[in-house]
Structure 1
């Protein structure tokens, strides 16, 4: 028996709550179970109980055995002076207040349905499973799962909001600057995401603003700061970029010693850092006040139009500075734009709306459900258990489920785990 399971039982009243009596025969009625306390002190705060027809307001402490009170040295901690009920799985000793009166104790072991215990033990019994409920995940009601996934998606956006708020603080609430940094990371994808982010961090966004009317200057800035202009290469385009960057470096006192190196290895040519940086430069050349435009847009098709940009002319016949290739217009693909929307645009829109107390959840959910589900090992594994993903909302929610709940054994805080325990 685990104490967190007893927290769950008490919090959601998953036991026989009628005609309760303490171990000493006092009647117990629950008005409110209290607020679950995840910090130090009693487990539930501000509970309201009627004990022997007398209303009590205070805290509830929960243990597997009554004697755990002494094991945890609560008798020496004044934070437990206001405990009005001791809830335990098994009562093995009386607990006293400082005035030597016994604290009422409620024993749960005969009040919990046996099937609940069996389901709980089954959920945590086997080791070395991908997730605890992998054998029963498919049996969860579609309605329960759908509602839980929407909750998880918003929870994931909340988590990303913390990162955005940190970037806002660094940039003195410059939303355009935060967008540039987050977009840069997204343009780098998994392999060059950290590199592109460090590149964006190395540039004051005021420099980007000043160069937005000059596409080649933007490319020189990005290529130079990324360290891609340090080669001994002949060619007008490369030499012009190098010359432009040296001018910009001196004018704006640019430093790039902290910028992480870019990688080409094991990347498809379309994802080479040269191509993605050129596309990023084109995006900012095409759109001034990009963040404002993004906030105004609430339809997926309009976001696709906003991000429909290509590389500059040189990169239509190159993937690297040296080798020429077949001419092809390298426009951002729909699938790539989807990733930008999922990882950058929607979290930013969510955070912006939250800070300004604007109701935007429905618009964000509508866009998220219109985008095709992502594909990765987590999504594939869940779909093998039960075909679950239809959209990016589902895939993002499942990533949140796996990383924030399954991997941390938080089945008791999960709607799926709850459904399997109480079925």
Structure 2
């Protein structure tokens, strides 16, 4: 058998070994009352185990290795953290473990105690070459409750990872949630291609400056386009000429330095996604909802939250333009439903979750999850493949959880740390 330490952890945690006639390698009788709590940081693998060895019941830590010799190979003999180990659990005992004080650590050998069927299931998951995920052949045997509970867990893990960037940004902005949300929103407005210049523009134009001009839409548009570097040219059309005139005054007033225009990318993009259109939409949203994050915290209905973005009206000039001074066929330029949903997914849901977690307010965490359940699921190769194997993906809650499951668990074959993998091992 090819035994891994992960498998030993799994077998010990769930006590899936033959427990009849357990004895240490020195012949003392063993009874396991509690396997302890798995410990992933430095130190012994399981803490607070409760085990009877001989006539004495011990409470302490348990260390696991494939072979006893790993104790010394890993340097535990000189590490004081392992002085409280009450039992050494190994697959194969090939070397006694002696502590510096001369005490021999009691050892339990699991050789020939792990069921062959369990090992075969594990070997199939970890070492077979499946095209998509390790458990694809047996995934349909997993019940809906197990799948749903686990997807909820991994979705929260995904949001917690994303919240790290929000907290870092919050620290940079000295605890200002409005400014933090404004900058994160701007970066996501640029999507992947123009995320960096959008973020740079927002950093160069603090939200507090825009708030001072909340009653003057033209000035807000001038500030945004000007700071983006698009008002340096000489224009023919009246609208950009007015923007430039306003911006030249405001630039001096607020001592602003614009972003370099060349940073923005137009190449191989649909005109509807040109940075000029995205900037116009961003300006419309700022005009429509000053102190946007405060409004998001107040709006309880998810449909109203979506309307907050969808109802932001872009300046009429852009109905017939994709660039300044270049007229085009008339077409609406307000944000489409898919663009709104992407912003709600990547910015609003993540920030709401982080806000609730940071302030320990479950209400906002629940609102973030409810928003993801409301939004339609993303379509990509990963979600499509999961659907093929019987896992639904109808909402953003589903698709985001499936992405995390695939990228953080399946790709690394962490089947023993996955509730779905655990279920497959028991059902197969």
Could you state the TM-score of these two structures normalised by the residue count of structure 2? 0.92
Residues 42 and 59, structure 1, Cα contact 8 Å, conserved in 2: yes
Counterparts in 2 of 1:18 and 1:35: CA distance versus 1, 3 Å: same
Alignment of 1:264-303 (within 5 A): 264-303=266-305
- Partners of 1:248 and 1:30 lie apart in 2 by 74
State the partner residue of 1:385: 389
Q: Which residue of 1 aligns with 2:321?
A: 318
Counterpart secondary structure, 1:315: helix
Residue of 373, 376, 395 corresponding to 2:399: 395
* Cα distance in 2 for residues equivalent to 1:412 and 1:214: 59
- Contact (CA 8 Å) 2:65, 2:89: kept in 1 or not? yes
- State the alpha-carbon separation in 2 of the partners of residues 41 and 356 from structure 1: 31
Structure 1 length as normaliser, TM-score?
Answer: 0.93
The Cα shift of 1:348 comes to 1.5
Match of 1:365 among 358, 363, 369: 369
Give the secondary-structure state (helix, strand or coil) at the position aligned to 2:378.
Answer: coil
Cα offset, 1:312, TM superposition: 0.8
User: Per-residue deviation at 1:318?
Assistant: 0.8
Report the CA distance between 1:127 and its aligned residue. Answer: 4.2
Q: What 5-or-longer segments of structure 2 have no aligned partner?
A: none
* More off after superposition, 232-241 vs 169-178: 232-241
State the alpha-carbon separation in 2 of the partners of residues 336 and 385 from structure 1. 29
- Unmatched tracts of structure 1, length 5 or more: none
Q: In structure 1, what is the Cα distance between the partners aligned to 2:234 and 2:339?
A: 32
CA distance, structure 2, for counterparts of residue 219 and residue 118 of structure 1 = 65
**Contact 1:282–1:311 (8 Å) recurs in 2:** yes
| Secondary structure class of the residue paired with 1:319 | strand
Aligned residue among 311, 329, 333 for 2:336? 333
Cα separation, 2, equivalents of 1:391 and 1:154: 15
- Is the CA contact 2:130–2:136 (under 8 Å) kept in the aligned structure 1? no
**Aligned counterparts of 2:268 and 2:314: Cα–Cα separation in 1:** 21
Give 4+ residue runs of structure 1 displaced > 6 Å after superposition. Answer: none
| CA–CA separation in structure 2 for the residues paired with 1:51 and 1:65 | 21
- Give distance in 2, aligned partners of 1:39 and 1:365: 29
RMSD of the TM alignment (CA)?
Answer: 2.2
Q: Would you say 1:196 and 2:161 are equivalent positions?
A: no
Match status 1:48 vs 2:50: yes
**What CA distance in whole angstroms lies between the structure 1 residues aligned with 2:411 and 2:203?**
32
Please say if residues 306 and 344 of structure 2, whose CA atoms lie closer than 8 Å, have aligned partners that are also in contact: no
Describe the shift of the 1:265–1:136 C-alpha distance in structure 2 as closer, same or farther (beyond 3 A).
Answer: farther
Matches of 1:128 and 1:83, distance apart in 2: 39
Q: Which moved more, 1:327-336 or 1:86-95?
A: 327-336
Q: How many residues align?
A: 423
Structure 1 match to 2:355: 352
Between 53-62 and 23-32, the greater mean CA deviation after superposition: 23-32
The answer as to whether partners of 2:36 and 2:47 remain within 8 angstroms in 1 is yes
SS of 1:21 mapped into structure 2: coil
* Aligned counterparts of 2:235 and 2:384: Cα–Cα separation in 1: 44
Contact 1:186 1:340 (8 Å CA) reproduced: yes
The CA deviation at 1:76 is 2.4
1:209-262 deviation line (CA, Å, top 9, x unaligned): 112222222222222222223445432222222232232222222234589822
**Is contact 1:66-1:95 (8 Å) kept?**
yes
Instruction: Note closer, same or farther for the CA distance 1:416–1:194 as it changes in structure 2 (3 Å cut).
Output: farther
Distance 2:396 2:16 in 1: 34
8 Å Cα contact 2:416-2:422 kept in structure 1: yes
Query: How far has the Cα of 1:306 moved from its partner?
Result: 1.4
Give the one of 95, 119, 122 matched to 1:120.
Answer: 122
